[in-house]
DNA sequence: CAGAATCCTGTGAGATACTG
DNA sequence: CAGTATCTCACAGGATTCTG
């Protein structure tokens, strides 16, 4: 059971109030973090989503193939991320019901539309990583 | 001081070994998480980077303007993310040295090139959030 | 105003073991 | 093979206070 936030001195006039309590008791952000684009961005801004979508771009893959293709992902995170991608209608899961189990995953129609912007990001990453690393080491030279 | 990982029974033959100890004592991934595109992707895959870059797209902004424009960001995370963006050469910081302090941030040339793919992602998000939410609630209907 | 320093918490995510 | 179920820790990130 989560403890009470334990604010030391609940004084008014906090300088940066990002949340307010609504009449129904829920907490909500003051401005608009509920903005649709923010919702979708948060969906993409985890460590594995973009990599899974990028890997499925070329066609359906089985669980083990995904695991082997995506360097460093744990089975747990692969399962979790696939589940939430399925929930959001970006990936479709097909269980053949055989024994031993055989399951494959493919992008849905919407998932496919995501592949394009994701590819753009990946292309940018591949092109500019050199400059980024250069800037990084130059910066670290001055402030070690 | 970080404790020893405390592996209960260090038995060999773990099923999914993602890391190996190199001759110099460092840990490294077996395959290729060090791939350049992965490096850059990890750079972008945090909660705030994309939002900051997107906000600076239209021109330089001061610290407080960024804080107010990006819904829900804390001053701590704004500072942190700006620092690392600066380190990577994507954002330039200009301190006017006045009193009270006046600092503004703008995209560098490389940062500007990132704005395009980021805008593509944002456009995708704005367009497809409806379908995502539909899929989500449809899915939750079946498995509540 | 723009932050630095500090404290605290929830979550991300790995390791391991078990199952149909 | 394709998962669950636990346990655990590290760290992202929020709240608060202080300062030049």
Say whether the CB atom of B21 is under 7 angstroms from strand C: no
Contact yes or no for A19/A28 (Cβ under 8 A): yes
User: Whole-angstrom Cα distance, residue B55 to residue B133?
Assistant: 25
If you ran DSSP here, which 8-state letter would residue B90 be given? S
On chain A, the residues whose CB falls within 8 A of the CB of B123 are: 117
Residue A114, pLDDT > 60, answer yes
Phi-psi region of A98 (alpha: psi -120 to 50; beta: other; left: phi over 0): beta
Contact yes or no for A103/A91 (Cβ under 8 A): no
- Nearest by CB to residue B117, choosing from A41, A117, A140, is A117
Q: Which tens digits make up the pLDDT trace of A41-84? A: 888 888 899 889 999 999 999 999 999 999 889 999 999 999 99
User: Whole-angstrom Cα distance, residue A115 to residue A69?
Assistant: 17
Q: Which tens digits make up the pLDDT trace of B100-142? A: 999 999 999 999 999 999 888 888 988 998 899 899 999 988 7
CB contact under 8 A, A129 and B39: yes
Q: Which of residues 56-75 of B touch strand C (CB under 7 A)?
A: 62-65, 75
Contact yes or no for A114/B129 (Cβ under 8 A): no
On chain B, the residues whose CB falls within 8 A of the CB of A72 are: 18, 29, 31, 33
pLDDT of residue A46: 85
Please state which architecture CATH assigns to domain B37-141. Orthogonal Bundle (1.10)
DSSP-H helix ranges across chain B:
36-44, 49-56, 63-69, 75-87, 109-142
Q: Which of residues 54-83 of B touch strand D (CB under 7 A)?
A: 72-77
Q: Which tens digits make up the pLDDT trace of B40-51? A: 888 888 889 988
Residue B138: Cβ-neighbour burial (10 angstroms; 0-12, 13-18, 19+):
exposed
User: Whole-angstrom Cα distance, residue A106 to residue A126?
Assistant: 25
Minimum distance, in Å, between the CA of residue A24 and any CA atom of chain B: 21
CB contact under 8 A, B128 and A18: no
Dihedral of the alpha carbons of B115, A143, B70, B109, in degrees to the nearest 10: -20
On chain A, the residues whose CB falls within 8 A of the CB of B116 are: 120, 124
3-state secondary structure of B43: helix
Task: Compute the average pLDDT of residues A24-32.
Answer: 38
Rounded to the nearest angstrom, the gap between the alpha carbon of residue B45 and the centroid of all alpha carbons in its chain is 4
């Amino acid at each position: 059971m989560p403890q009470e936030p334990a604010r030391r001195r609940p004084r008014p006039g906090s300088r940066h109030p990002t949340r307010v309590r609504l009449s129904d008791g829920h907490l909500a952000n003051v401005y608009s973090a509920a903005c649709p684009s923010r919702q979708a961005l948060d969906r993409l801004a985890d460590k594995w989503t973009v990599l899974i979508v990028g890997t499925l771009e070329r066609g359906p893959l089985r669980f083990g193939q995904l695991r082997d293709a995506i360097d460093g992902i744990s089975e747990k995170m692969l399962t979790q991320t696939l589940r939430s991608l399925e929930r959001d209608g970006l990936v479709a899961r097909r269980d053949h019901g055989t024994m031993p189990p055989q399951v494959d995953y493919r992008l849905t129609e919407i998932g496919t539309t995501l592949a394009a912007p994701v590819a753009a990001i990946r292309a940018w990453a591949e092109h500019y990583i050199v400059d980024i690393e250069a800037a990084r080491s130059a910066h670290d030279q001055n402030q070690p």
